[in-house]
Amino acid sequence: MITHGHLDHTGRLPLLAKAGYSGPVFATPATIEMSALILRDSAHIQAQDIERVNRKRERAGETPQAALYTPPTPRRSSNVFSRYHISRR
């Protein structure tokens, strides 16, 4: 269960999806929406960061590194969400 859409709560979801996890991840509709936005942004930032790092690594004769996840991965990880509606009584 994801309680809210901050990166420290959702940031591992793309890695879980990449590793083959396909079970449910429960969250409210608002959390799912916010998580998708944050994960897309995080993937975009990682892609930019790894490009910069790899340019430096190339100049130093080192092998390039891969980003932890790329923009398509958050889309795949968002498929594991199961909507959980909170009822107030």
Residues 44-59: pLDDT tens digits? 898 999 999 999 999 9
Contacts of 83 (CB under 8 A, 6+ apart): 27, 28, 29, 32
Q: What is the C-alpha separation between 9 and 82, in angstroms, rounded? A: 16
Model confidence pTM above 0.75:
no
Enumerate the domain spans of the chain: 7-83
Q: What is the C-alpha separation between 43 and 18, in angstroms, rounded? A: 13
**Both tokens of residue 68?**
């932890």
Nearest to 67 by CA among 43, 34, 37, 33: 43
Residues 7-36: pLDDT tens digits? 888 888 888 888 888 888 888 888 888 888
